[in-house]
């Protein structure tokens, strides 16, 4: 079983934008981030711990300009906290093992999928394409994409 933790080497490799978002709780600009319109099959992992967070199978176009998901890939890798910054109360989403700020959770997602919208920052995520899951150590998630590859 893989143990995930904040990796000092991964932290040292962060860009200024990734550091501002993942470590300092910032937000990247809508429609100006790496994964908002990514439609490739694969999973999204924490940029500093590598813990699996979301799958493209649960990603949808929320028309907000950020990658949005209906649910986490592994619920135990995602934690929520009350966020009362910016003069409003929101639910912050963080990675459980890397403690990265990922984004926020809203109740305006697709009703048929549970009604939740995990609105994430690309800067806190690393995308692992389905074709590279085995090579990158995430082979246990290959089954999610077998129908898409057929």
CA distance 82 to 105: 10
In whole angstroms, how far apart are CA 95 and each of 1, 27, 53? 18, 15, 8
Structure tokens at 102: 């990922």
CA distance 130 to 122: 18
Structure tokens at 56: 């493209």
Residues annotated as catalytic (active site), given as ranges: 119
């Amino acid at each position: 079983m893989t143990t995930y933790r904040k990796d000092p080497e991964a932290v040292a490799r962060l860009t200024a934008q990734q550091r501002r978002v993942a470590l300092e709780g910032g937000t990247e600009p809508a429609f100006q981030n790496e994964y908002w319109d990514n439609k490739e099959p694969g999973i999204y992992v924490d940029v500093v711990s590598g813990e699996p967070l979301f799958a493209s199978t649960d990603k949808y176009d929320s028309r907000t300009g950020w990658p949005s998901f209906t649910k986490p890939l592994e619920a135990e890798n995602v934690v929520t906290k009350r966020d009362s910054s910016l003069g409003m109360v929101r639910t912050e989403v963080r990675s459980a093992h890397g403690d990265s700020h990922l984004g926020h959770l809203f109740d305006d997602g697709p009703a048929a999928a549970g009604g939740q919208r995990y609105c994430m920052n690309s800067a806190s995520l690393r995308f692992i394409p389905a074709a590279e899951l085995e090579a990158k150590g995430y082979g246990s998630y290959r089954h999610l994409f077998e129908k898409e590859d057929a």
